[in-house]
Amino acid sequence: MFNVILFGAPGSGKGTQSQKIVEKYHLKHVSTGDLLRSEIAGGTQLGMEAKKFMDGGLLVPDEVVIGMIDSTINSNKDAKGFLFDGFPRTAVQAEKLDELLEQHNAEINIVLALEVSEEELVKRLLERGKTSGRSDDADETVIRSRIEEYRKKTAVVAGHYQQLNKVKTSPGEGTIDAIFASLSTEIDQVIS
């Protein structure tokens, strides 16, 4: 298995780049944000619980997302690999992911980190909020809370994988195709 984490702040382009990467490298896309939004759309109890946190721009409790990842990995045992988008987002999630992959004799092969200025993040999310219907894009206070959560709880995840020498940082500003090209170069170097 070849497993990638696409890492970056809210609005850094994880979802946009994930679509291109999974198509090129035939990986299974796992976005905890998308999984949680589909629970909300389905009106499940998990979704209703998660919504309270998401609407305020706060992280959902670790055990909720770890449970979702555990079942996704178990139900995709034949996957060539996974692209994790928006997960892990805390130190606890990172440790748990390493453990879960180890149970399948796999590991994280590369962490691609997208760097985007805060100004640009806010601009992108406010712009998308005009049409996305995502409640957490609708106002600037919630967008700033998401960025704050990222700084307080998620930034440390990069440190966890830096110790293992797995992090490759790329600029997340520029055209979507140019960013994709540089992410592809990083992946190709690890594959070869």
Among 13, 21, 22, 73, binds ligand AP5 (CB under 6 A): 13
128 in contact with Mg ion (CB under 5 A): no
* 170 neighbors 182 (Cβ within 8 angstroms): yes
81 binds Mg ion (CB under 5 A): no
The letter for the amino acid at 78 is D
CA-nearest of 100, 78, 99 to 27 is 78
Using CB under 6 A as the binding rule, the residues of this chain from 15 to 54 that contact ligand AP5 are 15-16, 32-33, 36, 53-54
Q: Which is nearer to ligand AP5, 185 or 191 (CB)?
A: 185
- With contacts defined by CB under 5 A, name the span among 12-20, 48-56, 94-102, 160-168 that binds Mg ion: 12-20
Phi, psi for residue 138 in degrees, rounded to 5: -70, -35
C-alpha to C-alpha distance for 7 and 75, rounded to whole angstroms = 23
Q: Which of residues 120-139 bind ligand AP5 (CB under 6 A)?
A: 124, 128, 136
Residues 1, 184: Cα–Cα separation, whole Å: 17
Q: Which of 13, 4, 61, 6 is nearest to 36 (CA)?
A: 61
Among 59-67, 71-79, 156-164, 182-190, the segment contacting ligand AP5 (CB under 6 A): 59-67
Site pattern 63..92 for ligand AP5 (x: CB under 6 A)? --x--------------------xx-x---
Q: Alpha helix locations (H) across the chain? A: 14-25, 32-41, 45-55, 62-74, 91-102, 118-129, 140-149, 155-162, 176-191
- The reply on whether position 146 binds ligand AP5 by CB under 6 A is yes
Which residues bind to ligand AP5, rule: CB under 6 A?
8, 10-16, 32-33, 36, 53-54, 57-60, 65, 86-87, 89, 93, 124, 128, 136, 146, 176, 179
